[in-house]
Structure 1
């Protein structure tokens, strides 16, 4: 009898503890799905929409009738916000400027440390970001700079020549078909965007004949972007699964990308460290090396490993995200040919055909700029932003957010909120124009690059590249369908750390 009572007591305690584990939430924490052992609420997200987790989170938000939901991803407590006011609060409140130590961020570095800028916080992040932004600005990053625009112009000229003449070198066959006029997206634009960025950082550009390694860098950079997700994949919940399912878990592809990217930038850094001369300032790298040699406190982060990861973080969008966003623009131009024709009319009226478009033309081309902004809104490249972390106990939208909670501002939900946009599902560039057809920035309340202290440092560079490359392409070419081609299917776009189209070839026709 005693044994039965003891077993019953154990069973009751087990059931109670299990119930408490599944349904317990911190006092005042937002509503959300229960959690399961190991997985937390991650499985519920997968069940709702395994392909697009940001859409799954929005569906749960509607289910719970709350613009903010709370859930667990493995051991990590997470709050996801789905309205504009809450998103802005996260981005502009320094209490949420922390970064969670997810395994996905650690595995980027061969030493399994969290270095760089994206996933860093505290004094090291502030000092590194301040120094890099301050001195890169002198070389044209983040501002209008005539010399940089000349470099971009030369890169675009090379790009158009590659389209017209076809591949000249082996690596160019990955970008353009023999004979030209057929390009592969989203790969095609990135090498030229990256080369423009590298001219800022290294004061040097890679000739077309030597772009093989750069093309591989682009390919593996996109591979990394596609094989992660908004919540760090199961790898961040159960890192040990990489030993059992290295391929299925995505570890092999992520690791392959990380190793190549790290090696690529390490070679740049080491070459400059070895040839450094304190009497000769060649580029930004020399400025950083000078700072390394000052012997500053360790917590400032001026060392070789941090240098490498910092460069990776500041360069990553240039060799992946810009080309992907341009490819998303191409998708919409093909689906909405009347938009492409209207941009071409604007180009013909303002620029003509005797020269490439410049940033000076931008203010006279409101419809073109409105189209780019509309694409940035409707196809939010980073749907959940890079994860934030509460640095202290806070209150958000009336709910208690404990310290160390991961906080995700859903830029995707904000950009498709009917309360803000009325018809957000429609691709309509006119929404950013006033009654006179001029660009009205007050109407653009989208945040494709984030905001606050964590604002994407490359916003100005990215917006400039998107304008210059979009207009240069439409000035010279029409996007058409070759025999056997079909219009883009937006439902097939990949969801990783960023949204990206599947690899596809696009036919171009000379205007």
Structure 2
């Protein structure tokens, strides 16, 4: 009897402690699901919607009737904000400008460290971001720059030639079918957007014949983006899982991507360090090398490894994200051909066919710009933004957010909120036009590039390139269906670190 009593007592104590662990949360913390040992609330999220975790957490927000929910992802305490006012409050709260030390961020370079810009905070982040942005702007990043626009137009000319005449080199067979007019998305646009970006950073472009490494960079960059999720996958909760399930955990593909990307940019950096001449400033890399030689305090971060990862972070959207967003624009233009026709009418009236569209044409093409903005809203590339972290005890939307809490701004939820958009499920570019058919920026309260101090530094570059490539394609071609093709199904777009379409081929027809 005594044995049974003791076992029962221990069981009751264990169950009580387990219950207390499951429901315990800091005073004033947002409502949310219970947590399980080791996994936290992550398994509940997977059960609700394992394909789209940002949608799973939005479901939790609706269940708890709160625009902010609190949960646990492994050991990490997380608060997720779901309405427009709260998202803006979060992104503009400097107390939330930290970055959590997720394993996904630590595994990006061979030193298993946390370098670069995306996952940095404090003095190093401020100094690195300030320096890189200050000087990259001189080369056209973050503002309009005529020379850069010329470079982009040259890349677009190469792109159109590849479509019309088919591949010349082996690596181009991954982008275009022999004979031309059939392109693979989302791969196709990325090498050209990457080369436009490289012209800013290195003051040089890679010739088409030598772009095999860039095409592979795009492939592995997309592989990295697709093999993670908003919360870092199980790798961020139980990193040791990589030793047991390297394939299913995503570790093998993530590691393969990281190694190639790191080496690609390390080779650029090392070549410039070896050939550096202080009497000749060739490009932005020379400016950074000069800063490295000043032997500034270590906490400023001016060293080779930080330089490499800083370039990775500033370049990653150019060789992955921009091509993906362009592919999603193509998806909607195929689903809504009347939108494509209306853009083509605008192009014909403003530009004609004798030259490529330029940024000077943009103000006269409000419907085109509205369509791009509507696509950025409908298919938010980074649905949960990059994770933030509370640097100190703070408040959000009336709730207490303890120091070191991971805080996420659900841009997806904000962009699909009926209280803001009325009919967010409808693809309707007109929502950004006034009664006279002109673009009304006041109506665009979307935040596809984030906001605050952590605003995406490449927003201007991205918006410019999206406009120039979208209009150049529609000026010259129609998107059509070849025999056996079907219209894109945007509900099957994949969710990783970014939203991306599954690989698909698109038929083009000369206008």
Q: What TM-score comes out, normalization by structure 1 length?
A: 0.99
Q: How does 1:193-212 map to 2 (within 5 A)?
A: 193-212=193-212
List per-residue Cα deviations over 1:105-140 (Å, max 9, x = no partner): 111111110000001100000000000000001111
Q: Which residue of 2 aligns with 1:143?
A: 143
Distance 2:44 2:100 in 1: 21
Q: How does 1:2-401 map to 2 (within 5 A)?
A: 2-401=2-401
Instruction: Give the deviation of 1:395 after TM superposition.
Output: 1.2
List per-residue Cα deviations over 1:297-333 (Å, max 9, x = no partner): 0000000000000000000000000000000000000
Q: Which residue of 1 aligns with 2:404?
A: 404
Secondary structure, in 3 states, of the residue corresponding to 1:478?
strand
Is residue 461 of structure 2 the alignment partner of residue 429 of structure 1?
A: no
Secondary structure, in 3 states, of the residue corresponding to 1:316?
helix
Distance 2:169 2:450 in 1: 39
Secondary structure, in 3 states, of the residue corresponding to 1:484?
coil
Instruction: Give the deviation of 1:420 after TM superposition.
Output: 0.4
Instruction: Give the deviation of 1:3 after TM superposition.
Output: 4.4
Distance 1:205 1:122 in 2: 34
Distance 2:256 2:272 in 1: 25
Instruction: Give the deviation of 1:2 after TM superposition.
Output: 4.9
Aligned length: 511
Instruction: Give the deviation of 1:398 after TM superposition.
Output: 1.3
Distance 1:169 1:4 in 2: 77
Distance 1:104 1:336 in 2: 37
Instruction: Give the deviation of 1:7 after TM superposition.
Output: 3.3
Distance 2:19 2:26 in 1: 14
Secondary structure, in 3 states, of the residue corresponding to 1:239?
coil
Instruction: Give the deviation of 1:6 after TM superposition.
Output: 3.7
Instruction: Give the deviation of 1:38 after TM superposition.
Output: 1.1
Instruction: Give the deviation of 1:4 after TM superposition.
Output: 4.4
Q: Which runs of 5+ in 2 are unaligned?
A: none
Distance 2:296 2:474 in 1: 50
Distance 2:463 2:318 in 1: 11
Distance 1:256 1:7 in 2: 50
Distance 1:225 1:72 in 2: 23
Secondary structure, in 3 states, of the residue corresponding to 1:425?
coil
Q: How does 1:466-485 map to 2 (within 5 A)?
A: 466-485=466-485
Distance 1:58 1:370 in 2: 27
Distance 1:231 1:127 in 2: 27
Distance 1:383 1:4 in 2: 53
Instruction: Give the deviation of 1:5 after TM superposition.
Output: 4.3
Q: Which runs of 5+ in 1 are unaligned?
A: none
Instruction: Give the deviation of 1:244 after TM superposition.
Output: 0.4
Distance 1:395 1:149 in 2: 43
List per-residue Cα deviations over 1:261-287 (Å, max 9, x = no partner): 000000000000000011110000000
Distance 1:299 1:8 in 2: 56
Q: What TM-score comes out, normalization by structure 2 length?
A: 0.99
Secondary structure, in 3 states, of the residue corresponding to 2:505?
strand
Distance 2:495 2:480 in 1: 26
Instruction: Give the deviation of 1:10 after TM superposition.
Output: 2.3
Instruction: Give the deviation of 1:164 after TM superposition.
Output: 0.3
Secondary structure, in 3 states, of the residue corresponding to 1:31?
coil
Distance 1:66 1:252 in 2: 38
Instruction: Give the deviation of 1:492 after TM superposition.
Output: 1.1
Distance 2:202 2:238 in 1: 39
List per-residue Cα deviations over 1:198-241 (Å, max 9, x = no partner): 00000000000000000000010000000000000000000000
